[in-house]
Amino acid sequence: MKILKLNLLLLITLLIPLICPVSGLAQDLPGLTLNLGSPSGPAQVSMILQILVLMTILTMAPAILLMTTSFIRIVIVLSFLRQAMGTQQMPPNQIIIGLAMFLTFFIMSPVFIQINETALQPYLQEQIEEKAALQLAVTPLRDFMFSQVREDDLKLMIEIAGNNLPETKEDIATLTLIPAFMLSELRRAFQIGFMIFVPFLIIDMITASVLMTMGMLMLPPIIISLPFKVLLFVLVDGWNLIVGSLLQGFY
């Protein structure tokens, strides 16, 4: 119970700057000092170690969540799209990352709901212990990664780890599954990126050929082809096609 209260207190402390947009209100809040002094017994040593582990997990949690969800494929495809169109910083990085994040939440919402119902809520209600809650929380993520990972990538990581080929999915360690899942997502993202580049590359080649025929060798083809690429993307409703294809790839 004490550990649960401490975890909630740390979480609330981290969220206070986001919840209070007014600087004056934030200045009126009481301060919180975390003092890890000399332990007086084994119980206090255990408590200090748990606090340090919790702070480490909170620091690494965003990266872990991004690497085990659909965020990898989405953000790479959107970056390829911007490079193929040649629009420099349009849309900006903030918009690309924000769109990728919200699409990730949309795709992963069934997984997050299952984690909340089977692991988080029972743990907060003290119906299960931390170890059981962690195992129940990892299971939906593993099922999602197994649905997207390629067998060749999974086999590669198992061979590199020096393990025998498992008989069931439960025999595959999560630390082996995550890099295999990331490799699979990178491969699919680059495949989609290649397909995105092809029509825009054709427009660049046609524009360069026309300019060479007209003798305008000093005029950069990108200046002429960029409006046509943007027009083509708008006419075919490109955002709908790209986002729709990305979403359907996970279902």
What DSSP string describes 86-123? T-TTSS-HHHHHHHHHHHHHHHHHHHHHHHIIIIIHHH
> Closest by alpha carbon to 139, among 160, 170, 106?
170
d(CA 209, CA 216): 10
pLDDT tier for residue 12 given thresholds of 50, 70 and 90: very low
To the question of pTM greater than 0.75 for the whole model, the response is no
Mean pLDDT of 133-161: 84
Kindly report, residue by residue over 217-246, the tens digit of the pLDDT.
676 767 777 888 888 888 888 888 888 888
d(CA 145, CA 78): 21
d(CA 37, CA 50): 14
Task: Give the other-Cβ count within 10 Å of 48's Cβ.
Answer: 14
Q: How far apart are the first and last CA of the chain?
A: 40
Kindly report, residue by residue over 191-221, the tens digit of the pLDDT.
988 888 888 888 878 887 877 777 776 767 6
Mean pLDDT of 4-10: 42
pLDDT tier for residue 14 given thresholds of 50, 70 and 90: very low
Task: Name the residue ranges covered by the structural domains of the chain.
Answer: 61-196+238-248
Identify each DSSP E strand in 47-194 by its residue range: none
Q: Is the pLDDT of residue 142 over 70?
A: yes
Bond from prior residue into 91 cis (ω within 30 degrees of 0): yes
pLDDT tier for residue 5 given thresholds of 50, 70 and 90: very low
Bond from prior residue into 30 cis (ω within 30 degrees of 0): no
Kindly report, residue by residue over 53-80, the tens digit of the pLDDT.
667 767 777 777 778 888 888 888 988 8
DSSP, res 165: P
DSSP, res 219: S
pLDDT tier for residue 23 given thresholds of 50, 70 and 90: very low
What does the pLDDT read at residue 237? 83
Q: Is the pLDDT of residue 32 over 50?
A: no
> Closest by alpha carbon to 14, among 78, 62, 47, 46?
62
